[in-house]
């Protein structure tokens, strides 16, 4: 080979990674895997693409593109993706997500499933080297004492063949256990030299597969031999965290739809904290917790924003006046928060401005019954200022409206931790007690409300009705008298209950009816 020929080969190879060619490879990657790199980061791909090109043994750039596009070159494409993405993971990574799964989602699912086929199907999508699905298996075995009587199926998938190969082995270095205590490691793993090997009981719960989230159909759920052929790909839980951060919005929304169609009714989707978006996951119901959001597929065709009739809705059919009072209590809520009441004045001025804007957006979505978009914005407010008590209270109120009482209780409790004198939280928790017919607990909370704000008419009104339900007519009468005294000095056309557009005059008439009945 002459010196001239060597120079030409070197020049041609350099041309492989010119900007124009890099953009062509970038676009192919986005089309096949969904992963998108903005032009500002295009030069960071040069080394990985060039190494992959040399490994492919292609003679020129056109051959390389044909290789990446063909089925025969699929292994090179997957290796390229492995070069370009981060496989950073470890056991129980994302403690908040695992806390929600362990303490709320898994117990709900186990309770729901224990009375029928005793099957649980989970898809751990983009599982990397397997720490996530093994963490799920460990938690499930802790929560289900006789797990051998259940059929547990965890499908764990990733586009990276090398990562899946590592996952199947189930052998990990100390680095995969950062944040995990030694007792946990010894309980679930065998130590083998410098590595830890997962015990076989946990490996049998998981099936690892090589899978492209964008181009491949959802993996088959092995538990679905118990169901119809139409539900072959339906799972109880799908976990896909920190993946769509690489995607364009359109790709993320298409993937969200694929996940939605792959879930059973009432199934859950867990995404990363930075991936929360009511817009991207608009078909789901947002289950909102103090430590994060989980998206849930509605059951039995229930409307996403449908609220719990027993708590806040009055049937359009005719009701007795005495019953209508209690219904109005359940529908009523204190006035929507004022922006000036929401801000931590010690925050930086720029954060204050952003907090106001986002909170205003959230309230607007809430008043238009766009609850999931409201939740999304309230969470962004809490990212800026975790002590924003009214954002926390609105999340409590939305959860209660949807009948997610345990979720609402957690948010109400958080409000009280932030501000022990925040009366709206006690009032919301009292309404949940009332819905559950826990009258004594409701009374105690309403007494706290009135202690905090002696002029809170709604507190006396609600308390009087609960006393009536408890046949404590003397106490009920006292509460109604106080409510009348407070209302009598207000303009008759003033709106008392925003949800019902109930005026002072109308409420006084209703209390008079109840007052005479008691």
pLDDT of residue 34: 82
> Does residue 432 share a domain with residue 329?
yes
Can you tell me the mean pLDDT for 116-121? 89
> Does residue 164 share a domain with residue 24?
no
pLDDT of residue 139: 96
> Does residue 102 share a domain with residue 77?
no
pLDDT of residue 256: 95
> Does residue 185 share a domain with residue 277?
yes
> Does residue 165 share a domain with residue 291?
yes
Concatenated DSSP letters for 161-197? HHHHHHHHHTEE-GGGGTT--HHHHHHHEEEETTEEE
Q: In what order do the strands lie in the sheet with 195-198?
A: 171-172, 195-198, 189-192
Tell me the percentage of the chain whose pLDDT exceeds 90: 46
> Does residue 291 share a domain with residue 215?
yes
Residue 257: CATH number of its domain: 3.40.50.150
Is residue 148 in some structural domain?
A: yes
> Does residue 117 share a domain with residue 222?
yes
> Does residue 396 share a domain with residue 272?
no
Is residue 352 in some structural domain?
A: no
pLDDT of residue 227: 43
Tell me the percentage of the chain whose pLDDT exceeds 70: 82
Confidence of residue 68 (pLDDT cuts 50, 70, 90): confident
Query: CB under 8 Å to 176, separation ≥6 — which residues?
Result: 89, 90, 91, 129, 131, 196
pLDDT of residue 331: 54
Residue 468: CATH number of its domain: 1.25.40.10
Report which of 132, 137, 135 is spatially closest to residue 120, judged by C-alpha positions.
137
pLDDT of residue 226: 42
pLDDT of residue 58: 85
> Does residue 206 share a domain with residue 259?
yes
> Does residue 80 share a domain with residue 153?
no
Count of domains observed in the chain: 3
For the chain, the average pLDDT equals: 82
- Spatial contact of 399 and 408, defined as CB atoms under 8 Å apart: yes
Report which of 451, 341, 353 is spatially closest to residue 390, judged by C-alpha positions.
341
Long-range interactions of 101-109: CB distance < 8 A, separation 24+: 101/136, 101/139, 101/237, 101/270, 102/139, 102/142, 102/143, 104/289, 104/406, 104/407, 105/237, 105/268, 105/270, 105/294, 106/139, 106/140, 106/143, 107/143, 109/236, 109/237, 109/268
Is residue 322 in some structural domain?
A: yes
Is residue 374 in some structural domain?
A: no
Query: Three-class SS of residue 214?
Result: coil
Domain stops at, among 22, 53, 84: 84
CA atoms of 347 and 385, how far apart (whole Å): 8
User: What letter would DSSP give residue 235?
Assistant: E
DSSP H or E segment with residue 265: strand 263-270
Which domain range does residue 482 map to?
311-343+383-517
- Cα-Cα-Cα-Cα dihedral of 286, 289, 290, 292, to 10°? -60
Is residue 143 in some structural domain?
A: yes
Is residue 356 in some structural domain?
A: no
pLDDT one-digit tens code per residue, 461-483: 899 999 999 999 899 999 999 99
Q: Which residue has the higher pLDDT, 331 or 366?
A: 366
pTM (global) more than 0.85: no
pLDDT of residue 353: 80
pLDDT of residue 125: 96
pLDDT one-digit tens code per residue, 176-233: 998 788 888 989 999 888 899 999 999 999 999 999 998 899 998 766 544 444 445 5
Confidence of residue 50 (pLDDT cuts 50, 70, 90): confident
Q: Which residue has the higher pLDDT, 254 or 221?
A: 254
pLDDT of residue 19: 80
pLDDT one-digit tens code per residue, 132-183: 999 999 999 999 988 999 999 999 999 888 899 999 999 999 999 987 888 8
Is residue 114 in some structural domain?
A: yes
Report which of 269, 264, 268, 266 is spatially closest to residue 231, judged by C-alpha positions.
264
pLDDT one-digit tens code per residue, 382-436: 999 999 999 999 999 899 888 899 999 999 999 999 999 999 999 999 999 999 8
pLDDT of residue 30: 86
Is residue 449 in some structural domain?
A: yes
> Does residue 505 share a domain with residue 409?
yes
């Amino acid at each position: 080979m002459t010196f001239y020929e060597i120079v030409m080969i070197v020049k041609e190879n350099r041309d492989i990674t010119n900007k124009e060619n890099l953009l062509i490879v970038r676009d192919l990657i986005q089309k096949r895997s969904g992963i998108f790199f903005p032009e500002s980061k295009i030069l960071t791909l040069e080394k990985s693409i060039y190494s992959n090109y040399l490994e492919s043994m292609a003679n020129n750039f056109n051959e390389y593109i044909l290789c990446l596009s063909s089925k025969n070159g699929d292994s090179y494409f997957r290796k390229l993706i492995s070069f370009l993405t981060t496989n950073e993971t470890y056991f129980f990574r994302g403690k908040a997500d695992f806390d929600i799964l362990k303490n709320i989602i898994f117990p709900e699912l186990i309770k729901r499933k224990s009375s029928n086929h005793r099957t649980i199907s989970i898809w751990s999508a983009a599982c990397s080297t397997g720490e996530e699905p093994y963490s799920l298996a460990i938690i499930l075995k802790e929560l289900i004492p006789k797990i051998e009587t259940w059929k547990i199926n965890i499908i764990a998938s990733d586009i990276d063949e090398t990562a899946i190969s590592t996952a199947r082995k189930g052998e990990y270095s100390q680095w995969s256990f950062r944040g995990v205590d030694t007792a946990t490691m010894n309980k679930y793993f065998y130590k083998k030299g410098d590595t830890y090997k997962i015990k076989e009981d946990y490996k049998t719960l998981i099936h690892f597969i090589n899978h492209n989230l964008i181009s491949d159909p959802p993996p088959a759920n092995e538990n679905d031999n118990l169901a119809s052929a139409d539900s072959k790909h339906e799972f109880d839980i799908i976990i896909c965290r920190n993946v769509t951060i690489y995607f364009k919005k359109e790709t993320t929304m298409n993937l969200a739809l694929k996940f939605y169609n792959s879930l059973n009714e009432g199934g859950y989707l867990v995404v990363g904290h930075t991936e929360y978006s009511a817009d991207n996951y608009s078909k789901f119901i947002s289950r909102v917790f103090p430590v994060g959001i989980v998206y849930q597929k509605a059951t039995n065709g229930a409307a996403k924003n449908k609220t719990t009739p027993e708590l806040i809705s009055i049937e359009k059919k005719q009701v007795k006046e005495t019953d209508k009072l209690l219904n109005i209590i359940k529908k009523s809520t204190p006035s929507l928060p004022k922006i000036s009441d929401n801000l931590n004045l010690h925050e930086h001025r720029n954060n204050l401005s952003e907090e106001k804007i986002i909170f205003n957006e959230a309230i607007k979505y809430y008043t238009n019954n766009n609850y999931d978009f409201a939740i999304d914005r309230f969470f962004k407010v809490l990212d800026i200022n975790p002590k924003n008590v009214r954002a926390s209270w609105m999340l409590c109120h939305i959860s209660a409206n949807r009948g997610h009482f345990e979720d609402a209780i957690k948010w109400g409790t958080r409000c009280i931790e932030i501000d022990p004198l925040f009366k709206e939280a006690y009032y919301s928790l009292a309404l949940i007690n009332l819905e559950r017919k826990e009258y004594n607990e409701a009374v105690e909370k309403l007494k706290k409300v009135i202690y905090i704000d002696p002029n809170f008419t709604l507190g006396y009104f609600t308390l009087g009705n609960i006393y009536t339900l408890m046949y404590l007519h003397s106490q009920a009468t006292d509460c109604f008298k106080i409510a009348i005294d407070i209302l009598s000095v207000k303009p008759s056309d003033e709106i008392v209950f925003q949800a019902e557009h109930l005026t002072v005059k109308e409420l006084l008439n209703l209390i008079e009816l109840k007052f005479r009945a008691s």
